[in-house]
Structure 1
Amino acid sequence: MDELKQARELGEVTITHALERWLASVKADSDSGNEHTHSKYRTAAKHIGAWAHSNHLIRLSQITPDALDHWKSSWSPKAKNPDDRIGKTTAGRRLEKVKRFLSYCVKMHWLAANPATELKAIKPDPSVTWPLLSGRYEKVIAATFEYDKRARRPSDQFGAEMRAIIELMRWTGLRIGDALMCAKSRIQGNRFSLTTQKGRSALTVLIPDHVIAALNALPTRADVHPDYFFWSGNSKPKSLTGRWQRKLERLNDYLSIAKDDGTPMKFHSHQLRDTFAVTQLLSGTSMQDLSKMLAHKSVKITEKYYSPWVPERQAALERRMAEALVQMGVSVSL
């Protein structure tokens, strides 16, 4: 402790020690069960530590505005360093974590000032969602059958599991991690009650009959715990999610879908949540109710991500507008 006190007085606290203390503080101050949040901070600490190591920075006093700005400017999808290959949205979140870490160091009196204060915030990429409408969803389902046809051996056929995951996410709006951690005991009739991994929100969703049937018909696998549909009972949720995200992304090898303007589009699992959200809006669900269905903390988040101006939604608005005009005594041709 005396050595730490002396180091603090000299501005010689190491970056490694500061990161360890920061993570311990974050864990102590947050919900002990919020593994999703802890994981984000651990990842941020890992990136900060790796950057410092690669630049031979040992002490906090060596972290300067110039060094940070140089690191920030290297973040892009085409960065030379794999750790820095990120888009603007991820870059903005990383910078936010860097600033929080250094603010913590100032709070601990290890630094006189935050060297990241003057770094300009990074605006995220525009929030664009591409729901699987206009026949896209059916093509994704069809690709799961093609996936099985191309499998080298029966044990590599995961089409049934893929369809169950896809249908579960599409019809409930669950994030993939929550869908994969679904325990059989948590389903009562058609109700699935859970605590979401992100935000630790209590949520109950209704699962359609055909999705319940698909889940119950899944083949038995040695690496899946009998109390779950997809989870072994041992792996971390993040590992399970990554594994199935990679499997689902392989469907693009047997799939050809396009955006509304005709440009090619790759399928990814979060589009299923988008599809649930947009079809709910098209069916008349209010933005406030949809926000609760998606377990969002604020309706503003829902509006930002799940009200894309897709042709189907525009058509629905035009129909309602036409109906109103007719009631007002004027005619309109669509």
Structure 2
Amino acid sequence: MLSVYTRHHPDCAKKDDSTYRRCRCPKWLDGTLPGRSGRFRVSAKTKSWEKAELVARKYENSALSGEELKPAKMPTVKEAVGVFLGDAEARGLAPATLQKLRGIFQVQLVGFAEESGVTFLREFNPRNLTEWRQTWKKEKELARKKKFERVIGFFWYCVRQGWLRENPTATMGRVIAKHVPTDYFTADEYKRIIDATYRLGEHAERSWAPEKRGIRIRALTELMRWSGLRIRDAVTLECARLVENKLMLYQAKTGTPVFVPLPPHVADLLRSIPPGLKPNPNYFFWSGNGLPKTFVANWQRAYRRLFKVADLHKPDGTSKRSHCHMFRDTFAVEMLLAGVPIDQVSILLGHASVRVTEKHYSPWVRARQDQLEKSVQSAWQGRRGETANAG
């Protein structure tokens, strides 16, 4: 009556054998049922052949008893996105990640589907998804690359749920993003930035205490430069995390806190920082109210003014593009140039793996560069010896 078969993923080694049982590809049912005309084909909603056979018996028994066991409804795009986002929230993803996923799928993908007349999930194909991707022109290369990776993950989720037979993004080309080498502030550039914090009144756009703003942004700058904190972590830093002249960066998975020593003048500056418009004794910079994202955006605007006053230039005379994350990069690069092992720098930066650190900072590993220079020099010596013997 009903038989089980496998709909293999494109990369499955047994994709040409629909009767193969042991792979982890979706299992489907095909055949006829008593009292029902025509062919009956439906997903078993499982990757197990044995479970699929049990589902087939349920359909057959329901047909024999006169009851109709309806197959699961094919979800619409909105329904599939809703389930996907609900699962992402249940997995405990960070609020910032959830916000990005909602923007991509709940706003952009669903909006594109409505404009294109796509109602059901199965109506997506490489052609209309390529058309959607072509509308991402305003986003930068790396943003498009990461966005497409999330789209691929969404459709693989739909395949695992049994809603799709194949991932429509599987035949689409990947987004290419050129790797931009990490940039940082040299000692002279950093000095110019600190000096600019004393001259913020020259470009003040608000009347609230320019001298206080200068001290506060100077304290935040010194904090990011000497601790390696991201701006979000720095502006929401709790006062209790500064113990003497050491700053607790984070709690390791083992439960052991990771500390970084701060220069005494940085620790003193943090302790004497003037209060903001809405001071909170528990935080150095944050009021504790509102979304951290909004507070970070306010500080980023302040840094745009600061970098304008600092007026940094590249060696060729063109303006240097500066942003807050470069203080964290400066912390990492200066540590590596001083000979600190990259695995220790990775711990201080809070990276999940040293590979992440190598990806961004490997050109600055002093030990590696020293070894390369020694290898080249030893090759010179060997060549000189061969020349002398030949003479």
Compute the TM-score of the two structures, normalised by the length of structure 1. 0.80
Measure the CA separation in 1 of the matches of 2:158 and 2:218: 48
**For residues 56 and 135 of structure 1, do their structure 2 counterparts lie closer, same or farther at Cα, with a shift above 3 Å needed?**
farther
**For residues 268 and 22 of structure 1, do their structure 2 counterparts lie closer, same or farther at Cα, with a shift above 3 Å needed?**
same
Measure the CA separation in 2 of the matches of 1:51 and 1:62: 13
**For residues 119 and 181 of structure 1, do their structure 2 counterparts lie closer, same or farther at Cα, with a shift above 3 Å needed?**
same
Give structure 1 stretches of 5+ with no counterpart.
80-84, 329-334
Pick which of 147-156 and 169-178 moved more: 147-156
What pairs up with 1:46-85 in 2 under 5 angstroms?
Answer: 46-75=107-136, 79=137, 85=138
Larger radius of gyration: 2
| Per-residue deviation, 1:50 | 3.6
**For residues 52 and 150 of structure 1, do their structure 2 counterparts lie closer, same or farther at Cα, with a shift above 3 Å needed?**
same
Aligned to 2:287: 232
| Per-residue deviation, 1:19 | 1.4
Three-state SS of the structure 1 residue aligned to 2:260 is strand
Aligned to 1:23: 85
Measure the CA separation in 2 of the matches of 1:174 and 1:205: 10
Question: Residues 211-231 of structure 1: CA distance to partner in whole angstroms, max 9, x if unpaired?
Answer: 112212222223232210111
| Per-residue deviation, 1:192 | 2.1
Aligned to 2:190: 137
Match of 1:171 among 214, 217, 226: 226
Aligned to 2:51: none
**Contact map agreement 2:189 2:312 (CA 8 A) in 1:** yes
Runs of 4+ in 1 over 4 A off after TM superposition: 5-8
The one-letter amino acid of 1:304's match is K
Q: Say what the alpha-carbon RMSD is for the aligned residues.
A: 3.1
Aligned to 2:157: 104
**For residues 263 and 6 of structure 1, do their structure 2 counterparts lie closer, same or farther at Cα, with a shift above 3 Å needed?**
farther
Measure the CA separation in 1 of the matches of 2:249 and 2:187: 31
**For residues 125 and 243 of structure 1, do their structure 2 counterparts lie closer, same or farther at Cα, with a shift above 3 Å needed?**
farther
Question: Residues 181-218 of structure 1: CA distance to partner in whole angstroms, max 9, x if unpaired?
Answer: 1101122112222448xxx9964322221111221222
Aligned to 1:257: 312
Matched, 1:14 2:76: yes
Measure the CA separation in 2 of the matches of 1:302 and 1:289: 10
Match of 2:353 among 298, 302, 322: 298
Three-state SS of the structure 2 residue aligned to 1:306 is helix
Higher relative contact order (CA 8 A, sep 6+): 1
Matched, 1:119 2:172: yes
Compute the TM-score of the two structures, normalised by the length of structure 2. 0.69
**For residues 218 and 306 of structure 1, do their structure 2 counterparts lie closer, same or farther at Cα, with a shift above 3 Å needed?**
same
How many residues were matched structurally? 303
**For residues 98 and 73 of structure 1, do their structure 2 counterparts lie closer, same or farther at Cα, with a shift above 3 Å needed?**
same
**For residues 216 and 38 of structure 1, do their structure 2 counterparts lie closer, same or farther at Cα, with a shift above 3 Å needed?**
same
The one-letter amino acid of 2:121's match is L
Aligned to 2:204: 151
| Per-residue deviation, 1:300 | 1.6
**For residues 154 and 321 of structure 1, do their structure 2 counterparts lie closer, same or farther at Cα, with a shift above 3 Å needed?**
farther
